[in-house]
Structure 1
Amino acid sequence: MSDPVISRLNFNAWRPDDPFWRPVLQAHLLHLGPDSRLNRFLVWSSDAAIMRYAAATRPALVLGARIDGRLCGLAELHVGDGSDPVAEIALSVDEDTRRAGIGGALFDVAVSEARRRGLSDIWIHFLRTNTAIRRISDRAGFIRLPERDPSVVTAHIAA
């Protein structure tokens, strides 16, 4: 039997030239509470910092997760420049819809999109205390690198 929340989950994808994603990203990130902002940005982030981020960030794709038309999570797929580009995924889910599998489903879609684009090396960075993304990335097959920073985990998956 499928999870009732996941069965109602739909995804939107916004490309960089789509005019609608920046306000959606900003509103979602501003809606996050202090702990969620810390987990998403790895540092405390004020409203002004989030607005600057939303105005300046250059993701290759923004993925939105919706339940019954309501946005409940976002993943950003960032792609580095170079002859062998790598991807990085940033993920956030609204506090009131957590622990329902939305983050994992959104993360899987972001990984699949990176693979579809031919990106074989995908990275994620998260606070050591963020057990939700640790479980999500472990299930997806990401390997944690040896500690460089005592508070931040770096993990990746390669084809």
Structure 2
Amino acid sequence: MNMMPPRAAEPIVPHDRASLPAGRAPALVRELTAVDRERLLAHFLALDEDDRLLRFGQIVPDHVIENYVRAIDFTRDTVFGVFNSKLELTGVGHLAYLPAEGDKRTAEFGVSVLESARGQGIGSKLFERAAIRSRNSHVTVLYIHCLARNTTMMHIAKKAGMKIEYAYGEADAYLTLLPADQSSIIAEMLQEQAAVFDYALKRQARHASRLFESFLPTAAAA
């Protein structure tokens, strides 16, 4: 694909905590590994036909999703996720690095959020994390390709100040990124630490809940 030169970079605006629904904490984004592959598969299989169309550009059957998840190379691409209290992936962002063209490195971003978790800013947080990772890995252009009717992706692209081109019901969005600096490196490190800590707390609470539930039948019989 011949990409048009993107416009000058604009800052990624962090998601405003005040815009979240009352009582909801901001989504914390953790980098995923091959250990999370089964949860990734469960996330994508939970998408309905319309969501699969918006995420993959076509309605894909389960076996295609299974092949896609099995083929993800976590040493080549970067995948991010947001977990709920049940340790289910409610949002997933996939950052795929495209072949370099001279000094220009491009990464393509794709995102999906479960219907039950929408309206919480998860898609925006995944994009912000992908953008800062792209900067810190020397990517110069962040790219999104999606259907033009994908209002969520269009909102994220416009909010980030991306250059958007429309053709035949599809849209391509581009954002030129600033080079990495100390603040971007530290910001990503702190975000990952917070997300890892949050995941550990949720896992501990999940294990405690299961342990408590395992004693319920015994207590009832006594």
What TM-score comes out, normalization by structure 2 length?
Answer: 0.64
The corresponding residue for 2:37 is 22
Q: Detail structure 1 runs of 4+ shifted over 4 Å in the superposition.
A: none
1:80 is displaced (CA, Å) by: 1.4
Alpha-carbon distance change, 75 to 90 in structure 1, aligned in 2, over 3 angstroms: same
Higher helix share: 2
Task: After superposition, give the CA deviation of every residue in 1:73-131 in whole Å (9 maximum; x if it has no partner).
Answer: 00011001334321000100001111221111111111111111111111001111111
Of 77, 91, 96 in structure 2, the residue corresponding to residue 60 of structure 1 is: 77
Q: Cα distance, 1:6 vs. partner?
A: 5.5
Question: For 1:144, what is the secondary structure of its paired residue?
Answer: strand
Give the 3-state SS of the residue equivalent to 2:168 in structure 1.
coil
Residues 107-118 of structure 1 aligned to structure 2 (within 5 Å) = 107-118=127-138
Unaligned runs of 5+ in 1: none
1:140 to 160, 163, 170: 160
**One-letter amino acid of the counterpart of residue 36, structure 1:** D
Which one has a larger percent strand, Structure 1 or Structure 2? 1
Cα RMSD (Å) of the superposition?
Answer: 1.9
Q: Residue 47 of structure 1 aligns with which residue?
A: 62
- 8 Å Cα contact 1:8-1:67 kept in structure 2: no
Unaligned runs of 5+ in 2: 1-16, 178-222
- Whether 1:12 aligns to 2:30 is yes
**Which amino acid letter does the alignment assign opposite residue 157 of structure 1?**
L
96-105 or 81-90: bigger deviation: 81-90
SS of 1:154 mapped into structure 2: strand
Return the match for 2:50 from 22, 35, 42. 35
Q: Which has the larger radius of gyration?
A: 2
Count of aligned positions: 154
